[in-house]
Amino acid sequence: MRAIYAKFMLLSLALSLFGDAQLREIQKELQKLQALRQQLQADIAKKEELLAKIEEEKKSLQELNATINEQIQRIQSDRFKKLAKDFESMDPEYAGEKLSKMKDPEIAAYILLNMNSRKAGEALNYVDPEMLSRITAILTKLKRNGKK
């Protein structure tokens, strides 16, 4: 019976030693995993802060872009108003000739849109028929959309 008890004790001691070694190894791995988890959480927090900063910068750039576009539109509007005054002061035949020779009918349309309607009508009498049809199409779109 003592032999059986001794064998049992040796077996339980071996198991406990083997179990302790495994337990220590598992604990070491668990500590490594916990350290990695903390590091990942810290990295995630940093990246979330960076993402928030990027989103903030993106929003401010969009606002800046909108402001710049508004200023460009205002400057263009002022430019077309000044050109319209210049065209109003011209002889209608000369103004019509200049409008006919413009490469971009949209510019001519914006100029006419900003001119006094009577003077614009007089100048249109002298515009080339092909250019007149392009300008008329653009003016129709602009009036339909309510842009000036």
pLDDT digits (tens, 9 = 90+) for 105-143: 999 999 999 999 899 989 989 999 999 999 999 989 988
pLDDT digits (tens, 9 = 90+) for 25-65: 777 887 888 889 899 999 999 999 999 999 999 999 999 99
Helix or strand holding residue 137 (H, E): helix 129-145
Question: Is the Cβ–Cβ distance between 110 and 80 less than 8 Å?
Answer: yes
Q: Where are the domains of the chain?
A: 2-145
The pLDDT, as a whole number, for residue 147 is 54
The pLDDT, as a whole number, for residue 65 is 96
pLDDT at 1 over 90: no
| Global model pTM greater than 0.75 | no
